Structure 1
Amino acid sequence: MENKAYRGHVLTLPYPSLGHINPLLQFSKRLVSKGLKATLATTLFIHNTMQPPSSSSLQFDTISDGYDEGGFAQAESIHAYLNRMETIGSKTLADLIIKNKNTANPIDCIIYDPFLPWALEVAKKFGIFGAAFFTQTCAVNFIYHHVHHGLLKLPITSTPISIPGLPVLELEDMPSFISVPGSYPAYFEMVLNQFSNSDKADAVLVNTFYELEPEAVDSMSKVCRLLAIGPTIPSFYLDKRLENDNDYGLNLFASDSSICNNWLNTKLEGSVIYLSFGSMASLSNKQMEELAFALKGSKFHFLWVVKASEEAKIPEKFVEEAGNKGLVVQWCSQLEVLSNKAIGCFLTHCGWNSTLEALSLGVPMVGLPQWTDQTMNAKYVQDVWKVGVRAKVCENGIVEREEIDFCIKEVMEGERRKDFQKNAKKWRDLAIKAISEAGSSNKNIDEFVSKFINS
């Protein structure tokens, strides 16, 4: 590998959680296809947990977050983790740059997650091209930009809220850090700090594609050097231009795809509800109960992903009583599931990766957002992209079984079902087009590579 001639060597540095790692991993693969050498750097704990596969193209290396044995779970608090990661991460990132300095392919560019703004400071210290990579939507990022720069005053005391390039918003449509003042202050500080030095970045990349949110992209482009480069999902499900790129290749949880696929393949087209709430969400016992009873009363088949840490919240005997009507698994290959013809609806927390996968694969959605950007994504699913509905939350913060049942019926067999399916197909076609050889996102990736190479 060291003797091969590359156009440049890019180091990509994600925030150490699955939802941030996978988009940068996929973008790294795209850069390799453009003739660059790419190295994805994760924390030592994440690296040891995921055990990334050896590859003839994409390389892997490590930095330290100061918690090599247990990662985030080892930290005393969110604030402690972020502070220590900045201190230790900055040093070990510098060590990684120095380690590569006298090789045939020294690091020429660092693409970093803006949750780690200190990475840009390290890049500038070594005179290296630095690019920010935002994993969330342009709309969400633009809201945080407004708050950071004092353009949107908090707390919000009157609605509706009007921001250039965004639809008119109610308070419950805003990211949860804003709609629920004082929630997770360390995380809120982190999302705002994404813009603490982003004006010094040589490029700003966003995991979206222009056709999805053109007004938001245009508005945010007026305040930073923005390139929309998504969707960042494996090429097999989009343009099929990257060889053997049929999955992300990294997972925090083990899955047995054959169990899900074999079960789904016995079901009729569009007859199954797929439920998953991502790698981080933790639902209350009451919410799990309401979901279970809604599924039990539904006439549709269901595939429900329930992490091992959440299994105790499932009502007693629910799995046994469901029989062949439902399948409950601890984890699965979501892309394989969503692309199966049996899936008629995705009941989701509306995390951006999950939402982007559903849009790219043409699957209508029922949104049960939990926190952070998910509420905003659910707003777009229902009112902008019109590919599904957002479930209404009761005063106690729970989505009750009757509402879940209503939303499932609305998407699976309601009067708007054909509209949801038609719109979902439209976004799937646009996602494929965006990343194709002449598409908007592919042109932006080429523009970024050209800018970096010629810098």
Structure 2
Amino acid sequence: MDPTESHPLRFRHVVAMPWPGRGHINPMMNLCKRLVLRDPNLTVTFVVTEEWLGLIGSDPKPDRIHFATLPNLIPSELVRANDFIGFVNAVHATLEDPLEQLLDRLDSPPPTAIIADTYVLWAVRVGERRNIPVASLWTMSATILSLFLHSDLLISHGHALFQPSESKEEEIVDYIPGLPPTKLRDLPPLFKDYQVFKKCELCFDELRRAKCLLFTTAYDLEPAAIDFLTAKLDIPVYATGPLIPFEKLSEGSQPDYIRWLDEQPECSVLYVSQGSFLSVSEAQMDEIVAGVKESGVRFLWVARGGESTLNKAFEGSSGVVVSWCDQLRVLRHVAVGGFWSHCGFNSTLEGMYSGVPMLAFPLFWDQILNGKMIVEDWRVGIRIERRKKAEVLIGRDEVEEVVKRLMDRESEDGKEMRRRACDLSEICRGAVEEKKETETCKKGNWKLSTSFGRKTLYHDLLLAENNRRDKIVKAYYIRAWRWGKQPSPVTVSDNINAKIALQLENFVRSNVSKTQSMKYLLLLNSCPTRPSS
């Protein structure tokens, strides 16, 4: 039975299935918050393991987002980094049946759509068995997805080595669509672990059968990659980001670390966070601690699980060590002038949104390419050069030097880096504001949801917004196609008057009213392609 036949469009129920990891759960939750805030008739069931419910269950969220749990059949979050491929295999092998059983119990109303992390291998086939459309959420950069989808080009160019030789590390990879010219050493080791690579390939095969692909990035941050993927994939592509928690910051809550920041000079504090998944060796941490301390720079350091040890090591220094903090709130604080980052994509987006220069210290997988993009492509950071061998430490003197460079606001490099950071912050903030504005659909600022329904006319997206200065409506584009056919784009001029915009709106509304099998209205505002100027 069609899950929407007994429940008309006024009842919409989305099941969100993130990959069980902090860097995947957070953007999925941010997307779900955005959806329920703009659609009063939407309910979300957010699926996590019992362990993860204990970790995030008390976090604030809208009332129409409800948690549902799967049993703890996979390795604990506390140890998953010890055997990454074992963790991946466990997720793929053990959680599909529990999700099926959970879906059997969700019937008030039944699910009308599933949003699943791209790495949840079996999500699309679960949806197909139940006649429920599935959207795939990609939580890494669009650029690295293009790289993954072109592994055959790496092989044909002799760049798919399990461990790149020193003679090839400096070779430039300039043949991957959407990827700026990049040294081989700055690409993630796709083929180093063959099992992981093959698992990724299976996920990408499933991706092509999803109803649409959602990115957490903003279009203007990665236009080349998104344009290419939009043309390459046979499914709609949306840049929904930056998917960050952009709700109004709490004014009543003032934790100790915020009060400490309030007392520091503008742009004087280095915020240090190495993420929640991997960590460096004890010997390397000793060098980092010594270098930061010797730099004399004020710092706020997040040390998950090692707060007491670091507090002792930093005794007498001009910094604060905490076990947790509201990262976006810290980055947006006027006292913060630099961000030591592991270059996870969520942290990268938050750093750019906040306009804070970054010290790139990637550890794993996509972080390596993110670090290169931060430094060379976006030009908003400094990189600590990665060592060819893990046992070769980055010394305290080098750490001290790069920290001082990052925090130097008077040098020409420092000024240019901060100018670029401000520019990218404007891009990110503009994308977020654009999405906020579409949540309050007022006269003259209309919107149309997208559908990933089946069997009938598709309307990919029609987005228009008011220009706040002259009230001219800007319609970015409209694409419409019949099920089973390739999209036929129609580009709309960037400056059209309200009358033309109204005609477009009426055209789309009239077609939507004839559509009886729309499954779910999603993402009112994210267009993967802007009209040519």
Query: Aligning the two structures, in what range does the TM-score lie when normalised by the shorter sequence?
Result: 0.7 to 0.9
Match in the other structure for 2:47? 41
Match in the other structure for 1:172? 185
SS in 2 for 1:393: coil
Point out the structure with max Rg over C-alpha: 2
Q: What per-residue deviation string (whole Å, max 9, x for no partner) do you get for residues 416-454 of structure 1?
A: 1111111111111111211333699999xx776434582
Change (3 A) 1:77 1:448: farther
Separation of aligned partners in 2, 1:193 and 1:72: 26
Amino acid at match of 1:392: E
Match in the other structure for 2:173? 161
Deviates more, 1:7-16 or 1:157-166: 157-166
Separation of aligned partners in 2, 1:440 and 1:168: 36
Separation of aligned partners in 1, 2:183 and 2:254: 40
Deviation at 1:7, TM superposition (A): 4.7
Deviates more, 1:225-234 or 1:127-136: 225-234
Normalising by structure 1, report the TM-score: 0.85
Mapped pair 1:26 → 2:30: yes
Change (3 A) 1:441 1:306: farther
Separation of aligned partners in 2, 1:447 and 1:128: 21
Deviates more, 1:36-45 or 1:121-130: 36-45
Separation of aligned partners in 1, 2:422 and 2:208: 37
Normalising by structure 2, report the TM-score: 0.73
Q: How does 1:146-295 map onto structure 2 within 5 Å?
A: 146-147=150-151, 150-153=152-155, 154-155=160-161, 158=168, 159-162=171-174, 163-175=176-188, 177-178=189-190, 181-183=191-193, 185-224=194-233, 225=235, 226-236=237-247, 258-295=255-292
Deviates more, 1:152-161 or 1:381-390: 152-161
Change (3 A) 1:131 1:447: farther
SS in 1 for 2:369: helix
Match in the other structure for 2:421? 424
Deviates more, 1:15-24 or 1:409-418: 409-418
Amino acid at match of 1:412: M
Q: Whose strand fraction is larger, Structure 1's or Structure 2's?
A: 2
Separation of aligned partners in 1, 2:263 and 2:382: 27
Q: What per-residue deviation string (whole Å, max 9, x for no partner) do you get for residues 268-323 of structure 1?
A: 001111111011121112221221121121132111112215865x5x9422232x
Q: What per-residue deviation string (whole Å, max 9, x for no partner) do you get for residues 335-385 of structure 1?
A: 121111110100111111111100011111110111111111111111111
Separation of aligned partners in 1, 2:47 and 2:448: 24
SS in 1 for 2:451: helix
Separation of aligned partners in 2, 1:7 and 1:196: 31
Q: How does 1:345-356 map onto structure 2 within 5 Å?
A: 345-356=338-349
Change (3 A) 1:107 1:85: same
Deviates more, 1:215-224 or 1:127-136: 215-224
Mapped pair 1:362 → 2:350: no
Amino-acid identity (%): 30
SS in 2 for 1:321: coil
Amino acid at match of 1:408: V
Match in the other structure for 1:387? 380
- Contact 2:137–2:214 (CA<8 Å) still a contact in 1? yes
Change (3 A) 1:396 1:80: closer
Match in the other structure for 1:63? 70
Match in the other structure for 1:404? 399
SS in 1 for 2:149: helix
Q: Whose helix fraction is larger, Structure 1's or Structure 2's?
A: 1
Q: What per-residue deviation string (whole Å, max 9, x for no partner) do you get for residues 120-149 of structure 1?
A: 1101100000111000000111111112xx
Q: What per-residue deviation string (whole Å, max 9, x for no partner) do you get for residues 18-41 of structure 1?
A: 110000000001111232222211
Change (3 A) 1:78 1:257: farther
Amino acid at match of 1:90: E
Match in the other structure for 1:250? none
Amino acid at match of 1:46: W
Deviates more, 1:214-223 or 1:44-53: 44-53
Amino acid at match of 2:255: S
Q: What per-residue deviation string (whole Å, max 9, x for no partner) do you get for residues 316-337 of structure 1?
A: 9422232xx1111222111121
SS in 1 for 2:208: helix
Amino acid at match of 2:326: S
Change (3 A) 1:284 1:111: same
Separation of aligned partners in 1, 2:268 and 2:182: 34
Gaps of 5+ in 1: 248-255
SS in 2 for 1:38: strand
Separation of aligned partners in 2, 1:222 and 1:440: 28
Match in the other structure for 2:332? 339
Amino acid at match of 2:288: L
Separation of aligned partners in 1, 2:136 and 2:259: 41
Separation of aligned partners in 1, 2:403 and 2:81: 39
Change (3 A) 1:146 1:301: same
Mapped pair 1:113 → 2:126: no
* Bigger RCO (CA 8 Å, 6+ sep): 1
SS in 2 for 1:222: helix
Counterpart of 2:294 (choices 294, 297, 301) is 297
Change (3 A) 1:202 1:29: same
Separation of aligned partners in 2, 1:88 and 1:215: 37
Mapped pair 1:89 → 2:101: no
Gaps of 5+ in 2: 1-6, 442-446, 454-516, 520-533
Mapped pair 1:454 → 2:508: no
Counterpart of 2:314 (choices 297, 312, 319) is 319
Match in the other structure for 2:463? none
